Structure 1
Amino acid sequence: MDFDELRDSATILVINGTRLFTQEERHKLDESLKKASIRLFMVEQRGIQNSIFNGIQVILSNELLGLLINGLLMPAAYDGLKQSLVFIIKKIRTGNFRIVTPNEINVPNIVLKVNTSNGEIVASISKVISEEQIEKYIDSMIEAANAVNDDETNTGGYTILEECADGSIEILSLKSYLKKHNKID
C-alpha cells in the first residue's frame, strides 16, 4: 500500500501507537473497520518530528472526512468508526506506553487530526472519552472543515478543537487559541 492509496481511501492512520496494540487487538480493529470500508494503517515515525511532537497522532484521511462531511457513511459504518476511535484512544490513554525525558515520565498526548486543502484541524485529547464525546469531536471536525474550506483567506492554517469545561467543543483558529492561553498578545 502506497501513500496515494492511503490518501485516496477512507483510512485511519495511527502514528507512533503501533506498539500499544497486540496482534489480536490490531486484527480486531482492522476487521471492525473493514466492515465499515475503512482501512487502518499504523506506522512508527522516528526523527526530528518526535523531538517536536511527543505524542500519538490519529489521522482521518481526506476521503474519510469527505464521507463524514457529505453524510455518506452508513449508520453502521459510522458507529464502527466511533467505537474504533474510542478503543484506540482508550488503549493509548490506559496503556503502559510512556514518553520518557530526562526530567519526567508522561502518558503521551493524543492528537486527532485531519488535513484539508486549507490547513489542518487538530484536537488534542487528554483523557479517555465516550462514543458520545467522540461524536462531538467528529461533528466539530466536520463543522471546522466546512468553515475552513469556505474561508478562502485561510490557507495552510491550523484550526484547533478544544474541549470546554461543560463538555462542548470550541473551534478556534491557531491565533485565537494562542491568545486564549496567553501565549501571544
Structure 2
Amino acid sequence: MPEIKWRLKGKWLKNCNCDYGCPCDFNAEPTHHVCEGMVAMDIEEGHFGDVDLGGLRWAGMYKWPGPLHEGNGTILPIVDERADAKQREALLTIMSGQEQSEGAVFAVFMSLVSRVLEPKFAPIDFEFDLKKRSARCRIPGLLDTASDPIKNPVTGDPHRILINLPEGFEYEVAEVAAATYIRGEGGY
C-alpha cells in the first residue's frame, strides 16, 4: 500500500530535563537517568495528502525510563484545537509514525514508545525567535516551557552552540539553548 505524501515545514522546539546538548542525541544515558520533555511545531507550510496543515501547531509530551534507544517510552500527543476533524486525523497519523518510511523521525520515535496516551486537543501558544535563540510553548493545563540562550558562566554573554549530525534522523543542524523551565501539568 503506497504511503500518503505529506510534508511539514516550520519552527521546531524540543526541551527536556537533560543537560545542554541532549545526551540522547549522542546515544548516551540521559543526565538524570530518565528522559522527560516535550516537542512542538508551528507549521508554516504543510499537507497530508490533500489536507492543508499550514498554520496549525502540534506538540508531544514524553517520558522514557532510561536512554531512548532502550525504548518503553510514553507519549501524550497534543493537537491544535483549531484543527478540523481531517486535520486532526492527519496530524495524529503523522505523529504516530504511520505513512512514512521506517527511518523517518516519527517512525523512529514511535518504535521506541510502548504507551500512547489519549490525544488532547487544546490551544497551543508558540513563540519562536531564532535570532534571539528564544522560544516558548504554552498549552493551558498541560505544558509551559521556555528556552533561552546558554549563558557564558564568566561573562554572562550568550554562548552559541550548534550541533551538526550529518546523518541525523531528527535534524542535521540544531541550535542548542537552555530550557529555562519546563513544567508539565494535568497529571502528566
Range of TM-score over shorter length: under 0.3
Q: Which has the higher helix share?
A: 1
TM-score (norm 1): 0.27
Higher strand share: 2
